[in-house]
Amino acid sequence: MSGDSLHTMGQQHGRRSWAEPWKIKMVEPLKITTREQRLAALDEAGWNTFLIKSDDTYIDLLTDSGTSAMSDRQWAGMMLGDESYAGSRNFYHLEAAIQKFYGYKHIVPTHQGRGAEHLISQVMIKAGDHIPGNMYFTTTREHQEMAGGTFHDVIIDEAHDPQAILPFKGNMDLGKIKAIIDQFGADKIPYISLAGTVNMAGGQPVSMANVRAIRELCEPLGIKVMLDATRMVENALFIQEREEGYADKSIAQILLEFCSYTDGAWMSAKKDNLVNIGGWLAVNDWDTFEELRNLVVVFEGLHTYGGLAGRDMEAIAIGIEEAVQDDHVRSRVGQVRYLGELLTEWDIPIVQPIGGHAIFLDAKRFYPHLSQDVYPGQTLAAYLYLDSGIRSMERGIVSAGRDPKTGDHKRPKLELTRLTIPRRVYTQAHMDVVAESVKACFDAREEARGLEMVYEPKYLRFFQARFKPL
Ligand SMILES: *Cc1c(COP(=O)(O)O)cnc(C)c1O
């Protein structure tokens, strides 16, 4: 399947444009800065885009986490917050929405995704356990390791190749899972950590056939399948577009079927669920639920609010229903594709195929003259900000951190700069401005010399590390 046919699928009606299925009711003015102002802001921020003030940012593509625009209905829901300590009606609405659209039985709210990852890791992982996953996610792996587990990447090899065009590049390699089972034994593997669209691989989806096969392999061995459902709605769109037998199924139907092959999920509601804060955990097994419900009280809050205000739970419940509407998902992923196709036309190296939530610039090919030791992905994020005030982030050697055993940098094959598109926030005109700024950096690529790290925090260093240009 060619890259072109992957990207244009679902648009078989000739020249009929899509447009956002919403209109703007309230606006938030943006600040436009000069190059001198941006250089000063970069110096102050240690050339780390995470440390730049949002007030100094023009188009903020740092993350799609908690940056969605809520709908008028969600804002109206905020006024229906029942802020009772126990048994808030908003909790029951949230529980019902998760049961209806994701299909799990028991629900625990948490303040955000990592709160859920913390609880599930503490409850399910024992010291010496092994957890296979499709690539990794920073906070997910951190919590699995802190609980005494060892993470193993079992994504298909092609996922590490930014130029390999495959419809489901987030799939797990069953051979790799079997090898880990043979090596350590099924009783040392509490669960498979499966993410729907793999963030670190460029937002690449997992097929229905893959999750079904994982289920068939694991169920007889007593290994659970746990889903990182953070961007599972976007994953469902790729299944609808690319997998045989799903073209006529709705996003909601596909989501429900996918989840039915898993035993539970953790969620960063700040992504797919269209809210600014929140998360949840859901499991089918009662005993696991009992332990989770007990532990949430220690770390997050009572099991009917889990660190969230009643109004926040209401906004998530409404957001879940809006998020599974086909028109919404098509325009959300369509906007990402629009940007990706412009860059592809201009021969700018990006991860292919274009994923669901972000465009990943391939910093290795963007700056072929820079070695990974001078942080090409971080360098590109800094120069893009300097050019236009667009904020992106590194997903490469800085994000990967150090090997806990050897203390050396982990050296991921992918060295990327991520342009993450918030949901329902920017227009197509903003995407044009972004593409043109990336092009300007690409034309000036030979001038980039890379960065030196001058301060390195111990955990998740990419958030707070400081750099100097070489
Ligand atoms: C954001 C994210 C998380 C963590 O969620 P937070 O709400 O940021 O704590 C976990 N997994 C994936 C895939 C994510 O993108």
Q: Which atom of ligand 1 is nearest to the CA of 66?
A: 7
pLDDT for residue 13? 57
Average pLDDT over residues 441-470: 96
Q: Which atom of ligand 1 is nearest to the CA of 116?
A: 9
Q: If you measure from the C-alpha of residue 132 to the centroid of ligand 1, how many angstroms do you get, rounded to a whole number?
A: 18
| The pair of three-digit structure tokens given for residue 55, joined into one six-digit string | 């007030």
Instruction: Determine whether 85 is an active site residue.
Output: yes
- pLDDT at 226 exceeding the cut of 90: yes
Instruction: Determine whether 395 is an active site residue.
Output: yes
Q: Return the domain boundaries, the chain.
A: 18-64+326-469, 72-323
Give the lowest-confidence range in 30-34, 123-127, 136-140, 433-437: 136-140
- pLDDT at 120 exceeding the cut of 80: yes
Work out the angle at residue 98's Cα, subtended by the Cα atoms of residues 74 and 94, and round it to the nearest 5 degrees: 45
Q: Percentage of residues in the chain with pLDDT exceeding 70?
A: 97
pLDDT for residue 7? 53
Instruction: Determine whether 138 is an active site residue.
Output: yes
pLDDT for residue 290? 98
Q: Is the CB of 279 under 6 A from ligand 1?
A: yes
Average pLDDT over residues 371-391: 98
Give the separation between CA 234 and CA 272, rounded to whole angstroms: 8
Give the lowest-confidence range in 199-203, 288-292, 375-379: 199-203
Domain 72-323 has CATH 3.40.50.720: no
Q: Percentage of residues in the chain with pLDDT exceeding 90?
A: 91
The residue contributing the CA closest to ligand 1 atom 5 is: 113
pLDDT for residue 3? 44
Average pLDDT over residues 120-127: 98
pLDDT for residue 2? 41
138-197 pLDDT tens trace: 899 999 999 999 999 999 999 998 889 999 999 999 999 999 999 999 999 999 999 999
Give the separation between CA 358 and CA 196, rounded to whole angstroms: 14
Give the separation between CA 86 and CA 268, rounded to whole angstroms: 23
Instruction: Determine whether 271 is an active site residue.
Output: yes
343-369 pLDDT tens trace: 999 999 999 999 999 999 999 999 999
The answer to whether residues 171 and 134 touch, using CB atoms and an 8 Å cutoff, is: yes
- pLDDT at 47 exceeding the cut of 80: yes
Mutate to test the pocket of ligand 1, among 50, 226, 266, 271 (most ligand atoms within 8 A of CB): 271
The answer to whether residues 120 and 281 touch, using CB atoms and an 8 Å cutoff, is: yes
Give the lowest-confidence range in 42-46, 86-90, 359-363, 400-404: 400-404
| Active-site residue, from 63, 67, 110, 138 | 138
Give the separation between CA 293 and CA 419, rounded to whole angstroms: 37
One-letter amino acid for residue 410 of the chain: K
The residue contributing the CA closest to ligand 1 atom 7 is: 113
Q: 314: part of which helix (H) or strand (E)? A: helix 310-323
The residue contributing the CA closest to ligand 1 atom 4 is: 113
Give the separation between CA 95 and CA 174, rounded to whole angstroms: 33
- pLDDT at 418 exceeding the cut of 70: yes
The answer to whether residues 133 and 151 touch, using CB atoms and an 8 Å cutoff, is: yes
Same fold flag, 18-64+326-469 and 72-323? no
67-77 pLDDT tens trace: 999 999 999 99
Instruction: Tell me the pLDDT of the chain averaged across its residues.
Output: 95
Q: Across the strands, what pairs with 227?
A: 194, 265
| Active-site residue, from 231, 271, 330, 418 | 271
The residue contributing the CA closest to ligand 1 atom 8 is: 113
Verdict on whether the full-model pTM lies above 0.85: yes
Q: Which atom of ligand 1 is nearest to the CA of 199?
A: 13
- Looking at domain 18-64+326-469, its CATH class is alpha beta
One-letter amino acid for residue 224 of the chain: K
Q: Across the strands, what pairs with 362?
A: 416
Give the separation between CA 49 and CA 175, rounded to whole angstroms: 39
Instruction: Determine whether 64 is an active site residue.
Output: no
